[in-house]
Amino acid sequence: LKQCERYHPRCCQYKVHGYPTRLLQIEMSGTQTSIRLFTVESASFSGNYAALSHRWGPPSSVFSTTKSKLARFQNSIPVSQLPKTFLDAIEITKALGLAYLWIDSLCIIQDSRVDWETESAKMDKVYLNAAVTIAASSSGDTQGGCFLDLVQPASRLPDCPLNKRGWVFQEMVLSSRILHFTQDQVYWQCRETMISNRFTFAPNMIPDGDLPLLWWSWAVDYSSRVFTKPEDRLYAYAGITKFYERLSGSSTIVLGLLRERLPTDLHWSCRGDKPRLRITTTNLPSWTW
């Protein structure tokens, strides 16, 4: 992490102004760990934070912040009640020397539509500005944890359970640095290199040159992902849209299509034999993918 911050200019160039409204503040008293919801004042906040990328599992089983719990969690969150993935992420955050952690189910008020829409619009800032993203890549839910019993043979990182989740796509694209915890090893991924126990290579996560081709490679990947709520597809891509428009400097995205290439991009089609879904709960036009 320190080497990346010091020697990788590409890993720092995409930061933007702004923070999530809330972070988890991690404090130590002797050997005891305490956490609470910390309200971020963007004008004065200067701390680094980690962000967790994880699969929820059944939404009803996720430990979360609600309107009735908010005041209590701002004082203290009971560590003993946290699921294993959250506990492991806290330990990783502490080990990296960071005092703040962002977890979606705790830092967004889950039964407030207003708060959910406000914070989901900031997702690009959450992951672009995080010092590192902790990815519980092989866990199917919040009880799976980050530290797993190693298995052989190694599985491909794209095949991990986490990478099938729709919301995770923008987390992977926008994060400057990611620690993937999988069943066979730990991967470090940043915009300039990827390192595991077995290899090192340069992935060139945001290549120079043909940005429209990059946009459509993202669209192909994203369109194959799974959502608990299909109507979230547009929200979960909003951060990618804003990021691409900043990258290009001139492009405008119209519901998933490039405005300057609209006649060409309207020729998109579905591939494979899976059922073709149409989201009926939103007012999206028929011509967008």
In the chain, where are the structural domains located? Answer: 2-201, 210-289
Residue 18: both structure tokens together = 């702004």
The lowest-confidence range among 85-89, 123-127, 159-163 is 159-163
- Token pair belonging to 42: 């963007």
Give the global pTM.
0.82
Q: What is the pLDDT of residues 135-165, one digit of tens each?
A: 998 888 899 889 877 665 555 666 677 777 7
Please check the confidence at residue 287 and state whether its pLDDT lies above 80: yes
Rounded to whole angstroms, the Cα distance separating 227 from 277 reads 12
Nearest alpha carbon to residue 228 among 128, 83, 104: 104
What are the strands, taking DSSP E only, across the chain? 22-29, 32-39, 50-53, 100-102, 132-135, 177-181, 186-190, 194-195, 200-201, 253-254, 257-258
State the amino acid at position 190 in one-letter form.
C
Mean pLDDT for the stretch of residues 250-265: 86
| Strands (DSSP E) found in 80-199 | 100-102, 132-135, 177-181, 186-190, 194-195
Phi and psi at 52, nearest 5°, equal: -100, 135
The pLDDT of residue 131 is 95
How does pLDDT run across 193-246, given as a tens digit for each residue?
Answer: 888 877 766 655 555 567 888 888 888 888 888 887 777 888 888 888 888 888
Residues of the chain above pLDDT 90, percent: 36
For position 95, what pLDDT does the model report?
95
Contacts of 154-162 spanning 24+ positions with Cβ under 8 A: 154/184, 154/185, 154/198, 155/182, 155/183, 155/184, 157/182, 157/187, 161/55, 161/137, 162/53, 162/54, 162/55, 162/135, 162/136, 162/137, 162/138
The more confidently predicted of residues 282 and 18 is 18
Residue-level pLDDT at 179: 93
**Spatial distance between the Cα atoms of 179 and 182, rounded to a whole number of angstroms:** 10
Comparing CA positions, the residue from 194, 167, 200 lying closest to residue 179 is 194
Which pair of tokens denotes residue 101?
């952690």
| Alpha-carbon dihedral sign for residues 229, 234, 239, 241 | positive
Average model confidence (pLDDT) across the chain: 85
Q: What is the pLDDT of residue 207?
A: 57
Q: What phi and psi, each to the nearest 5 degrees, are found at residue 103?
A: -125, 125
Band of residue 64 on the pLDDT scale cut at 50, 70, 90: very high
**Percent of the chain whose predicted confidence (pLDDT) is above 70:** 89
Report which of residues 159 and 64 the model is more confident about: 64
pLDDT at 204: 56
Mean pLDDT within 244-264: 85
Report the pLDDT value the prediction gives residue 276, as an integer from 0 to 100.
Answer: 66
Mean per-residue pLDDT, 162-172: 81
